Amino acid sequence: MAATSPGIIFNDLLIMGSRVHEGSEAAPGHIRAYDVRTGKMKWIFHTIPQPGEFGFDSWKDTTAYKYIGGANAWSGFSLDEKRGIVYASTGSASFDFYGGKRLGNNLFANSILALDAATGKYKWHYQTVHHDVWDRDLPTPASLITIEKEGKKIDAVAQPTKHGFVFVLNRETGEPVYPIEERPVPTNTELEGEELSPTQPYPTWPVPFMRQSISESDLNRLLPDSSRQQIELVFSKVDKGHMFTPPSLRGSIFFPGLDGGAEWGGASYDPETHYLYVNANEMPWNIQMVEVEKRLTKEESYLHAGKQLYTSYCMACHAANRKGSGNNPSLIDIEKKYNTKDFEALIRSGRRMMPAFQNLSSQEVDAIASFVFNDKSLQQKKLLQKADTNSFTHLPYNINGYNKFLSPEGYAGIQPPWGTLNAISLKTGKIVWKIPFGEFPELKGKGVTGTENYGGSVVTKSGLLFIAATSDGKIRAFNKKSGKLLWEYTLPVPAFATPSVYEVDGKEFLVIACGGGKMKTKSGDYYIAFGLP
């Protein structure tokens, strides 16, 4: 457990969320408040309800709260200080892609949650995805807005999601400002023990800010014939066609993808125009489920046990071929960096996004090492596999890696744009302007723009929208009303962060943190500040 976002202060309380592991051994993401003067915990809210608490009956297994983790507020909070309400936007319950050990709607996962900031008491919630198996956690705190409807002003929250919706809810009651419909979605699944929700919520207002489904006609037509044939072949073999297509052993195209739609940069809101600005990814992912061998009760070689344990604990991040996936590193030649003692210390402590696996015995760690190190001497040793006493920690399925649906050249398997910047009117519910966002230098000459982007925008009263977020390493200023590009600057490394705008002694400044590293870009360690003359 760690914190990836700062807490929020209310009176003398520091209210904190957390990042937790997304596997079966994840901790629950309970929200806590601490006295800023003494450090003592003043209240806790169980995001996975316990017996007698509201929401407990949304879990079919009455003991699930003892074992299931996640439902964590990892992205931070919003605060209505006047009303004394703190709003948390929560993640999915663990494990992300298989819910057979957590049947039911799984409150308060994937929920906008309103709590009394002084006491932590429940006020209301709205769940944006029921029984999530698509990793569609809410990636950003909701924006606090005030809009007009039928001549009346309504204080509301606006919650952007990974799957391209904005949920607009009354700030005090949680009631939808405009209708949200429960619509039937696919429920066919071959995964043993899984039970999918028959419906999911669809806001009718505002309109979605991204594509929400793709078909064969959407496949990338800019590729050489051989590359296009490869993506067509993959596309023909997997499940696809609906944004709630269930995970499967054949593989499923998840679109919107695991990284949105909206991401942790969140939205910015202009109270004068009532425009909500949301940048979005339009990147499909190919997620394939793999059966995990059941734990055995007889002696097994370290090699056999190591393969099984790797499949259970490591494969989702480092891929079946150990070459890594997404932002997770390759384990090929890891024996050149670590000996078995250092490897066990890494497994026990974790590092960065890698959790600590304290539940594994030393023999089990050595078994994994025998596999990833390809250590012949270790592989012949024997490990007595113990039967699981806790069925919740051993899942029958895992994913074979976090894999985007890409061409051999590394471009998205669908037509661009692969990233957009959107201005949504919360007066009309319509998109005022939408532009491709970000550039691949090698494709710009072909008129192809729009890349993945991570980091939010800030909007000013004077009419500017500032945002970085793209792998091309630029920070840009747009006309907030038209979306016209007014200014851009190339940073030393990309800035996957949200800018800050502030004033000192009458002079205005813009500052951005530049770390790079994501999407295989150059890493760095900079703060770049700009000042108006």
Q: What is the pLDDT of residue 208?
A: 98
Cα separation, 328 vs 131, in Å, equals: 26
Q: What is the pLDDT of residue 200?
A: 98
Helix/strand/coil for 42? strand
Instruction: Work out the mean pLDDT of the chain and round it to a whole number.
Output: 92
- Cβ atoms of 108 and 128 within 8 Å: the answer is no
Q: What is the pLDDT of residue 393?
A: 64
Amino acid at 187: T
Q: Each residue of 67-117: pLDDT tens digit?
A: 999 999 999 999 999 999 999 999 999 989 999 999 999 999 999 999 999
Cα separation, 87 vs 219, in Å, equals: 39
Q: Which of 354, 69, 318, 2 lies closest to 345, judged by CA?
A: 354
What are the sequence ranges of the domains in the chain? 296-387
Amino acid at 107: L
Sheet hosting strand 500-504, strand order edge to edge: 500-504, 507-516, 523-531
Find all residues with CB under 8 Å of 218, minimum gap 6, and list them: 211, 414, 415
Share of the chain above pLDDT 90, in %: 74
Enumerate the β-bridge partners of residue 93. 70
Q: What is the pLDDT of residue 368?
A: 87
pLDDT of residue 390 exceeding 60, the answer is no
pLDDT of residue 214 exceeding 80, the answer is yes
Find all residues with CB under 8 Å of 379, minimum gap 6, and list them: 301, 302, 303, 306, 370, 371
Distances (CA, A) of 306 to 257, 310, 345, 356, 364: 31, 6, 17, 17, 7
Q: What is the pLDDT of residue 331?
A: 87
pLDDT of residue 293 exceeding 80, the answer is no
pLDDT of residue 255 exceeding 90, the answer is yes
Q: What is the pLDDT of residue 361?
A: 80
CA torsion 396→91→500→272, rounded to 10°? 140
Joined tokens for residue 258: 């695991």
Joined tokens for residue 500: 């800050």
**How crowded is the C-beta side of 249, counted as CA atoms within 13 Å?**
9
Q: What DSSP assignment string belongs to 131-160?
A: S--S-----SPPEEEEEEETTEEEEEEEEE
**Residue in the block written with tokens 């924006």:** 143
Cα separation, 349 vs 218, in Å, equals: 44
- Cβ atoms of 110 and 82 within 8 Å: the answer is no
Q: What is the pLDDT of residue 389?
A: 40
Q: Which of 48, 200, 70 lies closest to 129, judged by CA?
A: 200
State the pTM of this model. Answer: 0.91
Q: What DSSP assignment string belongs to 450-519?
A: ---B-S-EEE-TTSEEEE--BTT-EEEEEETTT--EEEEEE-SS---S--EEEEETTEEEEEEEEEE-GG
Q: What is the pLDDT of residue 384?
A: 61
**Residue in the block written with tokens 């705190």:** 141
Arithmetic mean of pLDDT, 199-209:
98
- Cβ atoms of 51 and 57 within 8 Å: the answer is no
**How crowded is the C-beta side of 482, counted as CA atoms within 13 Å?**
4
Q: Under CATH, which architecture does the 296-387 domain have?
A: Orthogonal Bundle (1.10)
Cα separation, 105 vs 132, in Å, equals: 8
Arithmetic mean of pLDDT, 272-277:
96
Q: How many CB atoms lie within 10 A of CB 483?
A: 17
Arithmetic mean of pLDDT, 343-350:
82
Joined tokens for residue 84: 């004394």
Cα separation, 160 vs 137, in Å, equals: 11
Q: What DSSP assignment string belongs to 340-375?
A: HHHHHHHHHH-BTTBPP-TTS-HHHHHHHHHHHTT-
Joined tokens for residue 406: 């890409």
Cα separation, 442 vs 440, in Å, equals: 5
Arithmetic mean of pLDDT, 459-470:
97
Q: Which of 273, 283, 282, 221 lies closest to 435, judged by CA?
A: 282
Q: Each residue of 509-523: pLDDT tens digit?
A: 999 999 998 888 999
Cα separation, 372 vs 327, in Å, equals: 19
Helix/strand/coil for 185? coil
Cα separation, 120 vs 432, in Å, equals: 38
Q: 224-249: b or e for each residue (b if 16 or more CB lie within 10 Å)?
A: eeebbeebeebbeebbbeebbbbbbe
CA torsion 272→278→279→280, rounded to 10°? -160
Measured in residues, the chain has a length of 533
Q: What is the pLDDT of residue 391?
A: 55
Cα separation, 92 vs 70, in Å, equals: 6
Arithmetic mean of pLDDT, 248-276:
96
Lowest-confidence region among 60-64, 118-122, 209-213, 247-251: 60-64
pLDDT of residue 527 exceeding 80, the answer is yes
**Residue in the block written with tokens 């026990």:** 348
Q: Each residue of 395-433: pLDDT tens digit?
A: 899 999 999 999 999 999 999 999 999 999 999 999 999
Q: Each residue of 16-55: pLDDT tens digit?
A: 999 887 777 788 999 999 999 999 999 999 999 999 999 9
pLDDT bracket for residue 363 (50, 70, 90): confident
Phi-psi region of 324 (alpha: psi -120 to 50; beta: other; left: phi over 0): left
Between strands 268-270 and 275-281, the pairing is antiparallel
Q: Which of 500, 495, 494 lies closest to 458, judged by CA?
A: 500
Is the four-CA dihedral 95, 98, 100, 103 of positive or negative sign? Answer: positive
Share of the chain above pLDDT 70, in %: 96
Find all residues with CB under 8 Å of 444, minimum gap 6, and list them: none
